[in-house]
A and B are shown apart, each in its own frame.
Chain A
Amino acid sequence: MIRIARAFKGIPRIPIVILALVVAAAIFGPWIVPFNPEESDLVNQFIPPFGMEGGSGAHLLGTDHLGRDFLSRLIVGARISLMVGAMAVFFSGFIGTVVAITAGYLGGIVDAILMRMTDAMLSMPYLLIGVALAGILGPGLLNLVIVLGVLGWASYARVIRSEVLKLKTLDFVVVARITGCGLGRILWRHIFPNIVNTLIVLATLHFGTAIILAASLSFLGMGVSPPTPEWGLMVAEGREFIDSAWWLVTLPGLCILLTCLAANLLGDWLRQRLDPKFRERA
């Protein structure tokens, strides 16, 4: 218990609070929202947020062009964004780690082929590829996650492979072979646990990027489709009303910004926390 508490010492408070709120919204969203986020109410269109002229206490953050309560949409939108972010990170991380460990440990021609594929992925403009891929697959949550997974694995592969190359030279990997471990056991028991630190840092940083990418694709009509509340999609829908109902664009954008920023700050802190500690203990 004390060890866990000590591990969290010095954690940056603001990012963790923001992320905690987002996660809470994602988990408890459907039960705590005051209104049904998908129910239109054309009588009450364009009510501004509370505190502004024309605002009301019933709709704390106003309503959109179809009269749907905006606060509810933002809260439920958190669930979609988090899900997409987490799944994208998981798939990219999985593919990237498998590629990196295979290429790094086996070396030779396997390494050469896999790294050329990685280089090719890294050199392509990701939004372009994302749009093209999304166009082929069509809209939908699962397709969005697939596209994000395919876009993201290369950065994991590059970094983790260099960690594997470093590990390969350390004697304990040779000792594992000397004691008769087969290839699979060495990779799973010795190589993988030693790259998990790096993987966690990369995943945290990639999470923010994934959310922005998901929002961008939804904005372009390639991701989730209406009436699903997704922050990027909400920005797109509110675009044409920006001069009269500015909150329709600003508030979802602010949510995207804060979540991504919190994830990045947390990732930075994790990187500092996990790496030097590792080295200073060794």
Chain B
Amino acid sequence: MTETVLRVEDVKTHFVTGSGVVKAVDGVSFSVGKGETLGIVGESGCGKSMTALSILRMVPAPAGRIVGGKVFLCGEDLLQKSEKEMQTIRGSRISMILQDPMTSLDPLFTIGDQVAEPIRTHSKTHALNVLARATEMLRLVKIPSPSARMSSYPHQMSGGMRQRIVAAIALACEPELLIADEPTTSLDVTTQAQLIALLKDIQQKLGVAMIVITHDFGVISRICHRVAVMYAGRIVETADVQTVFGAPSHPYTIALLKSLPRFGAGLERLHTIGGQPPDLRDLPKGCSFAPRCAHVMDICTTEFPSQRDIGAGHTVCCHLAGPGRSAQ
């Protein structure tokens, strides 16, 4: 059993707005081990990015607040730490890659400067060592001619290369946990494949725990060991990647997989999930997916299905799975 790097327990993040409280993250629990990749998949607006920001304690204030739960990084509860302590953790122990490589780099500074910045922030290394380390990082993310590239500017690089440089910045201090928020969404398919292969390679080399947030099941299948499916601020199913694709249990997961276009099956209408995701200010009583579920029962609209264990590491929040064993 690999050691757990991150354990998230029942985290709730709410936004207070003029028209009500938006429950962006409403009781999310999962864990990631060393050298393991957890994929968080779900529709836009289901709370994936907000979960990541909650772990980093960068929820947009003052409207957003983490109102409950615990986030354990190697045993330490991040939600109890002061902002100053979080600043030492961010970049050195937890890091994040964002979605848009075109705006993720400061246009006024060289690549070398930007990769060196986290190293300078978090360690007191000598200037020459910092530059050497930055060049090493560029080599790690497979940027050609890294020493020459140290003095280039972001606008001289393509999107794929910029995303790799963002990865270099994120990994410069060898963090224990790397969160990638939709890292491939802005890239073309070939570059996507390169980036995914790179992330996998880096994980094997550095043993970093990864969380990959995406809505692309293709990415999930290639890089993730375990998958958590999110809906309306809650995780509805968690399992290892083979089980999620081969034997999904929650109706939402099943519907999501069914809606993926298939090749070679002849022209057919794409499957959709009827209805709309619920308004996060006014979640329905009981299961949030009940209004759109094909297998809804009476109990689904009255009682919220707690997380239950239905097999090796496979948990689901659904009344259809029977009482099972409570995963609490």
Q: Which residues of A contact B (CB under 8 A)?
A: 108, 170-172, 174-182, 185, 190, 193-194, 278, 281-282
Additional A-B contacts beyond A171-B98, A180-B87, A180-B88 (20; CB < 8 A): A170-B103, A171-B100, A172-B106, A175-B104, A175-B166, A176-B106, A178-B58, A178-B96, A179-B91, A179-B118, A179-B121, A179-B169, A180-B89, A180-B91, A180-B92, A180-B118, A180-B122, A185-B121, A193-B108, A194-B108
- Give B195-227 interface residues, CB cut-off 8 Å to A: none
CA distance A176 to B155 in the complex (A): 18
Centre residue among B87, B106, B108 by max chain A CB count within 10 A? B106
B261 within 8 A of A: no
| Contact present for B88 and A178 (CB under 8 Å) | no
For the complex, what is the distance from the CA of A185 to the CA of B166, rounded to whole Å? 19
Known pairs A177-B90, A180-B87; A190 contacts B107 (CB<8 A): no
List residues of chain B with CB within 8 A of the CB of A179. Answer: 90-91, 95, 117-118, 121, 169-170
Q: A282–B170 Cα gap in the complex (Å)?
A: 22
Which 5 residue pairs across A and B have the least CB separation, nearest first?
Answer: A180-B91, A179-B91, A179-B118, A171-B104, A180-B90
Binary CB contact string for chain B from 4 to 38 against chain A (1 if under 8 A, 0 otherwise): 00000000000000000000000000000000000
Closest-CB distance, B84 to chain A (whole angstroms): 8
**Separation in Å of the A116 CB from the closest CB of chain B?**
19
User: CA A209 – CA B42 in complex, angstroms?
Assistant: 56
> Quick one: closest B residue to A185, CB to CB?
B121
For the complex, is B236 an interface residue (Cβ under 8 Å from A)? no
Which residue in B87, B103, B170 is a CB contact (below 8 Å) of A182? B87
**Inside 8 A of B100's CB, which chain A residues have their CB?**
171
Q: Chain B residues near A182 (CB, 8 Å)? A: 87
Nearest-neighbour CB distance to chain B for A27, whole angstroms, equals: 32
Flag whether B144 is at the interface (Cβ < 8 A): no
Contact residues in A for B90 (Cβ distance below 8 Å): 177-180
Interface residues of B in 55-113 (CB under 8 A from A): 56, 58, 62, 87-92, 95-96, 98-100, 103-108
Contacts of B89 in A (CB 8 A): 180
CA distance in complex: A180, B99 (Å): 19
Contact: A172 with B87, CB < 8 Å? no
- Chain B: CB-nearest residue to A180: B91
- Closest CB of chain B to A172's CB: distance in Å? 4
6 residue pairs A–B, Cβ–Cβ below 8 Å: A108-B62, A178-B90, A178-B95, A179-B170, A194-B107, A281-B155
| Least Cβ–Cβ distance between A60 and chain B, in angstroms | 49
B104 to A, closest residue via Cβ: A171
- Give chain B residues whose Cβ lies under 8 Å from the Cβ of A178: 56, 58, 90-91, 95-96, 98, 170
Shortest beta-carbon distance from B117 to chain A in Å: 6
Produce 1/0 per residue, B47-58, CB < 8 A to A.
000000000101
The reply to whether B104 and A180 contact each other, CB–CB distance below 8 Å, is no
Bound Cα distance from A176 to B105, whole angstroms: 9
Complex: how many Å from CA A174 to CA B104? 8
CB neighbours (8 Å) of A193 from chain B are: 108
Chain B contacts of A190 at CB under 8 A?
106
Interchain CB contact under 8 A, A172 and B105? yes
Residues from chain A with a CB closer than 8 A to the CB of B169 are: 175, 179
Closest partner residue, chain B, to A196 (CB atom): B108
Question: Which of A176, A180, A182, A278 has the most B CB atoms < 10 Å from its CB?
Answer: A180
**Complex Cα gap A82–B56 (Å):** 51
- Smallest beta-carbon distance B195→chain A, Å: 16
* Nearest residue, chain A, Cβ from B63: A108
What is the CA–CA distance of A179 and B114 in the complex, to the nearest angstrom?
10
Please indicate the chain A residues that have their CB under 8 angstroms from the CB of B103 in the complex.
170-172
Contact B107 A181, beta carbon cutoff 8 Å: no
Q: How far is B156's CA from A282's CA once the two chains are assembled, in angstroms?
A: 9
Instruction: Give the residues in chain A near B155, CB-CB below 8 Å.
Output: 281-282
Give chain B nearest CB distance to A29 CB in angstroms.
38
Within B115-158, the residues touching A (CB, 8 Å) are 117-118, 121-122, 155
Specify which chain A residues have a CB less than 8 angstroms from the CB of B95 in the assembled complex: 178-179
Q: CA separation between A176 and B87, bound complex, in Å?
A: 11
Closest-CB distance, B186 to chain A (whole angstroms): 11
**B156, closest chain A residue (CB):** A281
Nearest-CB residue, chain A, relative to B90: A180
Chain A residues with CB below 8 A from B96, complex form: 178
Rounded to whole angstroms, the CA-CA distance of A178 and B52 in the bound complex is: 11
